[in-house]
């Protein structure tokens, strides 16, 4: 009996799994009815409640998106501020510590008006200083093969730096004088001067050659040349207006000539051109239309006169001159002049320089 019980205990009882329930497939009509049964009924009384329920569900997605946008704007703004700080730090060190003259730095100064000095109430732009300095460097590097990295070249560069900054300081004084005395130079006057120079073949016989000369000698384009020329013409116009004594002397001489005075006799007594005065004002050599030894304004005036005619007062920028054509043969004229020297611009700048001393932000003697 005991043995039978042991055998019975050792038997493994197998569990019988219940049969799987077979799900009943619902008919399409039944599924449609259940779907419509779950749709909430919206009435005039419940429309506000349902609208708020829908908006609440939407906010779950909108708020994280707004948060992400704010984070992106914050990160972008932070990176931009850091980039600007690094950029201005680099440019500032390049300009004021290392005095970099590269094309990139020059381009930056053309956009951002970094100052190099201050004169009275006027700021002197770093760009104007580099504009002057870079043309000196270009000319001496390309035409004279000066190596500014050598000790001798560095000393020469310091001299050009001084010259460049003195010129831009002078330009500030000239602009102030021009403003006070109602003196100006129009763009048309500058264009006329360029046309005059080109017509006399002083900077090339064609526009292409003219541009090549500007680029090769100074690293300029035509706009740069006109900019420099306009400043030079403004300086000359200021001097011509402020030098009252030279203007009155020229007008008196012209008046005497128009009343019958002898040109040679008057030239010998009042002309300030030491090279022609002793010879009755007559130039030693015949003059051609593109004579490089004669100011273009004089050449233009002479070839507009007939033999025996006398010009009005011609301003060369440095002198006021009255001209006479003695003869004209084979495209060359023999001529005479009565000249009155204009004062240098420093005569009129000196009083301003005493009261408005420049404040420099860069030591150009390094």
Distance CA(240)–CA(286), nearest Å, equals 28
Q: Is residue 359 part of a domain?
A: no
Tens digit of each residue's pLDDT (9 = 90 or more) over 42-69 = 565 566 666 666 666 655 655 565 557 7
Q: Are 61 and 84 part of one and the same domain? A: yes
pLDDT over 60 at 348, yes or no: yes
Are both 107 and 220 inside the same structural domain? yes
176 and 124, same structural domain?
A: yes
Tokens of 303: 């070839």
* 164 pLDDT above the threshold of 80: yes
- Tell me, yes or no, whether 163 lies in a domain: yes
The dihedrals phi and psi of 277, each to the nearest 5 degrees, come to -55, -45
**% the chain with pLDDT above 70:** 81
* Per-chain mean pLDDT for the chain: 88
At 226-275, the pLDDT tens digits run 999 999 999 999 999 999 999 999 999 999 999 999 999 999 999 999 99
pLDDT at 173 over 80: yes
pLDDT for 12 beyond 60: no
Classify residue 201: in a domain, yes or no. Answer: yes
When pLDDT is cut at 50, 70 and 90, the band that residue 39 belongs to is low
Tell whether 348 is covered by a domain.
no
* Model confidence pLDDT, tens digit, residues 130-154: 999 999 999 999 999 999 999 999 9
CA distance 32 to 290: 103
User: Which of 219, 242, 265 delimits the end of a domain?
Assistant: 242
Q: Give, to the nearest 10 degrees, the angle between helix 126-142 and helix 151-180.
A: 140
pLDDT one-digit tens code per residue, 187-221: 999 999 999 988 888 888 788 999 999 999 999 99
Same domain, 225 and 255: no
Judgement on whether residues 86 and 119 belong to the same structural domain of the protein: no
pLDDT of residue 5: 47
Decide which of 88 and 205 is more confident: 88
Q: State the average pLDDT over residues 323-340.
A: 95
- Whether 192 and 85 map to the same domain: the answer is no
pLDDT at 126: 98
pTM over 0.85: no
The alpha-carbon radius of gyration of the chain (Å, integer) is 44
How many structural domains comprise the chain?
Answer: 3
Evaluate whether 191 touches 222 at the Cβ level (below 8 Å).
no
- For residue 22, being part of any structural domain is answered with no
**Same domain assignment for residues 259 and 230:** no
Please state the rounded mean pLDDT for residues 283-304.
Answer: 93
Does residue 28 or residue 219 have the better pLDDT?
A: 219
Same domain, 145 and 233: yes
Q: In the chain, what percentage of residues exceed pLDDT 90?
A: 73
d(CA 174, CA 179): 9
- Tell me whether residue 125 is in a domain: yes
Among the residue ranges 101-105, 201-205, 251-255, 340-344, the one predicted with the least confidence is: 201-205
235 and 107, same domain (yes or no): yes
Angle CA 68–73–74, to nearest 5: 95
Tens of pLDDT along 108-128?
A: 999 999 999 999 889 999 999
Token pair 């932070």 in the structure block, residue = 78
Neighbours of 330 (CB within 10 A): 7
CA torsion 289-290-296-302 (nearest 10°) is: -10
Query: Is residue 115 one of the residues assigned to a domain?
Result: yes
Does residue 237 sit in the same domain as residue 248? no
Q: Is the pLDDT of residue 161 over 50?
A: yes
Looking up residue 261, the CATH number of its domain turns out to be 3.10.50.40
Residue 186 lies in a domain: yes
Q: Could you say which of 208, 242, 276 is where a domain stops?
A: 242
> In sequence order, what E strands does the chain have?
115-119, 122-125, 314-315, 319-329, 332-341, 358-360
Rounded distance between C-alpha atoms, residue 232 and residue 194, angstroms: 13
**Cα torsion through 193, 251, 234, 157, rounded to 10:** 90
Residue range(s) defining the domain that contains residue 267: 244-342
Location of structure tokens 């920028």: 317
pLDDT, greater one: 78 or 272: 272
Angle between helices 222-242 and 207-218 (to 10 degrees): 80
Same domain as 231, residue 272 = no
Contacts with 124 (C-beta within 8 Å, 6 or more apart), sequence order: 115, 116, 117, 118, 168, 169, 172, 358
Nearest to 197 by CA among 317, 71, 52: 317
Residue 230: CA count within 13 A, CB half-sphere: 15
Q: How far apart are CA 157 and CA 37, in angstroms?
A: 93
Q: Say yes or no: 226 and 125 in one domain.
A: yes
Tell which of 242, 277, 303 closes a domain: 242
User: Sheet of 122-125: strands edge to edge?
Assistant: 122-125, 115-119, 358-360
81: pLDDT strictly greater than 70: yes
CA dihedral 84, 90, 95, 98 (to 10 degrees): 170
Question: Residue 193's domain is classified under what CATH number?
Answer: 1.10.4030.10
More confident site: 312 or 207: 312
Residue 288 tokens read as 């051609």
Give whole-number Cα distances, 222 to 194, 207, 208, 214, in Å: 9, 10, 11, 7
């Amino acid at each position: 009996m005991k043995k039978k019980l042991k055998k019975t205990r050792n038997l493994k009882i197998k569990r019988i799994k219940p049969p799987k329930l077979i799900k009943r497939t619902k008919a399409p009509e039944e599924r449609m009815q259940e779907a419509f049964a779950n749709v909430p009924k919206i009435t005039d009384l419940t429309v506000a409640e349902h609208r708020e329920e829908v908006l609440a569900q939407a906010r779950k997605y909108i708020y994280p998106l707004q948060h992400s946008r704010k984070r992106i704007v914050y990160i972008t703004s932070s990176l931009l501020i850091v980039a600007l700080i690094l950029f201005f730090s680099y440019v500032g060190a390049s300009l004021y510590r290392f005095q970099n003259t590269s094309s990139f730095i020059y381009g930056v100064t053309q956009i951002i008006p970094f100052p190099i000095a201050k004169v009275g109430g006027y700021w002197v732009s770093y760009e104007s200083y580099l504009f002057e300095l870079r043309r000196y460097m270009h000319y001496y590097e390309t035409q004279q093969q000066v190596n500014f990295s050598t000790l001798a070249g560095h000393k020469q560069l310091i001299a050009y730096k001084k010259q460049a900054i003195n010129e831009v300081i002078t330009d500030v004084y000239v602009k102030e004088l021009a403003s006070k005395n109602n003196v100006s130079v129009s763009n048309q006057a500058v264009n006329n001067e360029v046309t005059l120079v080109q017509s006399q073949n002083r900077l090339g016989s064609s526009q292409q050659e003219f541009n090549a000369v500007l680029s090769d000698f100074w690293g300029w384009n035509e706009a740069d040349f006109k900019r420099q020329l306009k400043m030079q013409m403004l300086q000359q116009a200021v001097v011509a207006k402020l030098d009252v004594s030279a203007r009155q002397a020229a007008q008196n001489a012209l008046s005497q000539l128009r009343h019958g005075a002898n040109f040679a006799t008057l030239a010998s007594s009042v002309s300030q051109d030491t090279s022609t005065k002793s010879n009755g004002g007559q130039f030693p050599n015949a003059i051609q239309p593109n004579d490089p030894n004669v100011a273009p304004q004089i050449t233009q005036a002479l070839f507009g006169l007939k033999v025996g005619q006398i010009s009005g007062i011609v301003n060369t920028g440095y002198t006021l001159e009255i001209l006479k054509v003695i003869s004209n043969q084979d495209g060359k004229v023999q001529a005479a002049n009565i000249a009155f020297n204009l004062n240098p611009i420093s005569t009129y700048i000196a009083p301003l320089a005493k009261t408005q001393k420049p404040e420099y932000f860069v030591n150009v003697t390094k």
